[in-house]
Amino acid sequence: MVGVGRRWASRAVAARRTSAASADRGGSGANSGADRGVATVWVAVTATALCTVFAIVLALGQAVAARHRAGGAADLAALGAADRALEGAVVACETARRVASAQGAELVHCAVDGEIADVTARARFGPYTPAVRARAGPPGGPRDAAGTDEHTRGAGPDTLDGDA
């Protein structure tokens, strides 16, 4: 029975050492386990919050990329339609459709008025499908081409004729 007493004594010494170590950490032995795992909860909550913020930033970036893709497609489609505007609206809009399709977008609206093309293109990028409108035509308006612009005539507000 001597061996049994030694085992019991070693268990009692180990229990006292654990209780003393707990008291050194500020715990009272029985309640020392109440604060265990709090850091794990804080790390989990912080990681979840950071992942949520990261997901929001990625979604906003994807929305901006979709808008830029649609804008580029609309601009190029409008330029293509304006280039073919003198061949007729059907040819110009078909050119705009092919250009928008080559850019990964679809042509939603196409109108040609003289040499000016007005198109709307929609590009799908992820869950976003923005539609962007673009206009293209020759530089200046019809008044510039006819030579009736007030600055070319010399009678505009920036001229000094008559008042000086």
60-114, pLDDT tens digit by residue? Answer: 998 998 999 999 999 999 999 999 999 999 999 999 999 999 999 999 999 999 8
Count of domains forming the chain: 1
Question: Is 69 domain-assigned?
Answer: yes
Question: Is 93 domain-assigned?
Answer: yes
Question: Is 124 domain-assigned?
Answer: yes
Q: Which residues pair with 120 in a beta bridge?
A: 109, 133
Contact 96, 119 (CB under 8 A): yes
pTM: 0.58
Q: What is the predicted pLDDT for the residue at 127?
A: 83
Question: Is 37 domain-assigned?
Answer: no
Tokens of 24: 């050194």
Q: Is the pLDDT of residue 2 over 70?
A: no
Question: Is 106 domain-assigned?
Answer: yes
Question: Is 4 domain-assigned?
Answer: no
Q: How many Å apart are CA 139 and CA 116, to the nearest integer? A: 10
Question: Is 110 domain-assigned?
Answer: yes
CATH number of residue 72's parent domain: 3.30.1300
- State which amino acid sits at residue 101: S
Q: Which residues pair with 135 in a beta bridge?
A: 118
Which range of residues forms the domain containing residue 51? 44-138
Question: Is 95 domain-assigned?
Answer: yes
- What are the E-state strand segments in the chain? 105-113, 116-123, 131-136
